[in-house]
Amino acid sequence: MTAHTPRKRFGQNFLHDQNIIANIISVISPQKNQRIIEIGPGKGALTTPLMQHTGKLEVIELDRDLIPRLEEKFSRLGELTIYQEDVLRFDFAQLNATENSLRIVGNLPYNISTPLLFHLMAFLPLIKDMYFMLQKEVVDRICAQPGNKEYGRLSVMLQFYCETESLFVVPPEAFNPAPKVNSAIIRLIPREPSSINTTNKGALSTIVTASFAQRRKTLRNNLKKLLSDEQIKSLDIDPGCRAETLSLDEFKKLSALYLETKTLETKTA
């Protein structure tokens, strides 16, 4: 088989550093009988050790040219199931997984990482944990805390759904071709359903998106079409502060008040 040339349109950067691969496998700690789904296996840098630990693996790969290579390389290592699909459209519910059973891992293409993470949030009840290689800048934003300049919509929404942890940095030279930025490994553990289901996700998204629409502006300005000064003050939140200073709990309170206001408006209309 001829060598596979990395394709820019698929965002392909193939991991080859064996020390990094060993570190990733160590933090994932794959075990037999676990149901692990690898997104974008590429040439199989992670697939090989995952298969060696589990004997069984499911992968999602868009590049059809890589499919026969994966089949040939891993047929002798165990049971490999390949879904040749766009992961952004992949229905994880079709896997018929039991609750809290899927472990999802992958070196995600930078160009789809954020939409893919939000796509996965729709299937959280099925997911036990997730380990992804992402652009370090994106990992920093996801894990940022209030008061940090990296803290924004992505931080609040993903921390609402998951516990987030940046594990370690991966330098460009660990890949072929080498990207122009550092990467990092992130661990995402879905929160208990009770902590998610008590909040209206649509209302939270509306409030968070509006709050960060213009970062330099205050809540008063960004939320003026949604909540009044008096309403914001009623939650012991200063309307003169910026969104980047608010905690996840404060955003939840604002979204609950916004939802209550919208419900009252509907009833009196």
Residue 136: pLDDT band (50, 70, 90) is very high
What is the Rg, in whole angstroms, of the alpha carbon atoms belonging to the chain?
21
User: Does pTM top 0.85 for this prediction?
Assistant: yes
Q: What is the rounded average pLDDT of the residues 145-151?
A: 96
Helix axes 153-161, 201-211, angle to 10 degrees: 160
What are the residues facing 60 on neighbouring strands? 39, 83
Of the candidates 172, 136, 166, 131, which has an alpha carbon nearest to the alpha carbon of residue 46?
131
Q: What is the pLDDT of residue 269?
A: 55
Query: Under CATH, domain 8-196 is a member of which superfamily?
Result: Vaccinia Virus protein VP39 (3.40.50.150)
- Is the distance from CB of 47 to CB of 70 less than 8 angstroms? yes
Residue 77: pLDDT band (50, 70, 90) is confident
Q: What is the pLDDT of residue 12?
A: 54
Kindly tell me the sign of the dihedral angle through the C-alpha atoms of 55, 84, 69, 103: negative
Q: How far apart are CA 65 and CA 230, in angstroms?
A: 59
Q: How far apart are CA 8 and CA 39, in angstroms?
A: 17
Instruction: Work out the mean pLDDT of the chain and round it to a whole number.
Output: 91
Q: Which has the higher per-residue pLDDT, 12 or 84?
A: 84
Of the candidates 20, 33, 17, which has an alpha carbon nearest to the alpha carbon of residue 78?
33
Residue 264: pLDDT band (50, 70, 90) is confident
Q: What is the rounded average pLDDT of the residues 111-131?
A: 96
Distances (CA, A) of 55 to 24, 32, 93, 195: 18, 7, 23, 35
Does residue 261 have a pLDDT over 50?
A: yes
Q: What is the pLDDT of residue 7?
A: 44
Of the candidates 32, 192, 35, 22, which has an alpha carbon nearest to the alpha carbon of residue 103?
35
Does residue 268 have a pLDDT over 80?
A: no
What tens digit of pLDDT does each residue of 201-237 get? 999 999 999 999 998 999 999 999 999 999 999 999 9
Residue 2: pLDDT band (50, 70, 90) is very low
DSSP for 147-184 reads TSTT-SHHHHHHHHHEEEEEEEEE-GGGEESPPSS-EE
Q: What is the DSSP letter of 254?
A: H
- Is the distance from CB of 104 to CB of 186 less than 8 angstroms? no
What tens digit of pLDDT does each residue of 155-196 get? 999 999 999 999 999 999 999 888 889 999 999 999 999 889
Residue boundaries of the structural domains of the chain? 8-196, 199-268
Of the candidates 219, 221, 227, which has an alpha carbon nearest to the alpha carbon of residue 260?
227
Map 40-91 to HEC letters: CCCCCCCHHHHHHHHCEEEEECCCHHHHHHHHHHHCCCCEEEEECCCHHHCC
Cβ partners under 8 Å of residue 53, min gap 6: 25, 30, 31, 32
At 66, list the tokens.
């890589």
CATH of 199-268, one of 2.102.10.10, 3.30.390.10, 1.10.8.100, 1.10.150.240: 1.10.8.100
Distances (CA, A) of 24 to 29, 48, 97, 267: 8, 12, 24, 53
